[in-house]
């Protein structure tokens, strides 16, 4: 099946710094990528929908200036957590779809962010 | 409101016993349905999906699910579970006219030796 890769898998940073997480579709062109946040023992919360070459669409309650999303190409989307704080610590998962109504989501391995 | 409900947050089951994980969705429009599995500290992996056709869908690792339109359900089943099936399972619905997926709250399956 299709492969989506996230990097880094784990990141620890100091409060106030910014962290970038990359999401790549390795063997297909992803027309749309999604970023999710997952708290322990909870479901995935959709943060934003990212289409190549256009601005991301953020879900209600997600701060655009805090979570910067860039989808520069059909195989790469990045999530930058700016001025991270301990409450931003979470498991971030990206997913990508080939597009079309029946396209399934392919998920990255996830990135665990810990802000000290 | 359109949503996905997983009725059981935790399901313990003995090894080699059958299991059913329940999923109901609320929607007045046609949907596609998915089950994903998540192992600790990993992303989600597709188990199976229903798009159209036969209402009984077979997936990987011996799992299957049945789409019941009248009951708006898509329950996941396995006749005999293995220790390695211990994981978090998510039901998801995708609406035909949008790219967005909506996930249930997840069911934690624990297989007891």
Report helix, strand or coil for A71: strand
Which residue of chain A is at minimal alpha-carbon distance from B87? A41
Q: How far apart are CA A96 and CA A72, in angstroms?
A: 14
Q: Please tell me the predicted confidence (pLDDT) of residue B100.
A: 72
pLDDT tens digits, one per residue of A71-105: 888 899 999 999 999 999 999 999 988 766 666 78
Q: Hey, of A52, A98, A104, A114, which one would you mutate to test binding to chain B, going by the most B CBs within 10 A of its CB? A: A104
Q: Please tell me the predicted confidence (pLDDT) of residue A99.
A: 66
**A interface toward B at CB cutoff 8 Å?**
1, 4, 6, 32, 34, 41-44, 46, 49, 91, 93, 95, 97, 99, 101-110, 112
Which residue of chain B is at minimal alpha-carbon distance from A1? B46
Mean pLDDT of B39-55: 88
Q: Hey, of B1, B21, B44, which one would you mutate to test binding to chain A, going by the most A CBs within 10 A of its CB? A: B44
Q: How far apart are CA B71 and CA A49, in angstroms?
A: 30
Closest CA of chain A from B9, distance in Å: 9
- What DSSP letter does each residue of B10-65 carry, written as one string? EEEEETT--EEE--EEE-SS-EEEEEEEE-TTS-EEEEEEE-SS-SEEE-GGG-EE
Question: Residue A11 pLDDT > 80, yes or no?
Answer: yes
**Is B48 in CB contact (< 8 Å) with chain A?**
no
pLDDT tens digits, one per residue of B89-103: 999 988 776 667 788
């Amino acid at each position: 099946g299709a492969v989506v890769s996230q990097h880094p898998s784990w990141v620890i940073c100091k409060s106030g710094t910014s962290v970038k997480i990359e999401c790549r579709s390795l063997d297909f062109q992803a027309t749309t990528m999604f970023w999710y946040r997952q708290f322990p023992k909870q479901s995935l919360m959709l943060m934003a929908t990212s289409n190549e070459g256009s601005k991301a669409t953020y879900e209600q309650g997600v701060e655009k200036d805090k979570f910067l999303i860039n989808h520069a190409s059909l195989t790469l989307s990045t999530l930058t957590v700016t001025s991270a704080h301990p409450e931003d610590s979470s498991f971030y998962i990206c997913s990508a779809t080939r597009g079309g109504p029946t396209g399934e989501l392919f998920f990255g391995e996830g990135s665990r962010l810990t802000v000290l | 409101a359109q949503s996905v409900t997983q009725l059981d947050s935790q399901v313990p089951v003995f090894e080699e016993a059958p299991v059913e994980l329940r999923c109901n969705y609320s929607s007045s429009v046609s949907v596609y349905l998915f089950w994903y599995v998540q192992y600790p500290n990993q992303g989600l992996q597709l188990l199976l999906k229903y798009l159209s056709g036969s209402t009984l869908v077979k997936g990987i690792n011996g799992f299957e699910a049945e789409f019941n339109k009248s009951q708006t359900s898509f329950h996941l089943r396995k006749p005999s579970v293995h220790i390695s099936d211990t994981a978090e399972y998510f039901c998801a619905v995708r609406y035909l006219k949008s790219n967005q997926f909506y996930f249930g709250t997840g069911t934690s399956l624990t297989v007891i030796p």
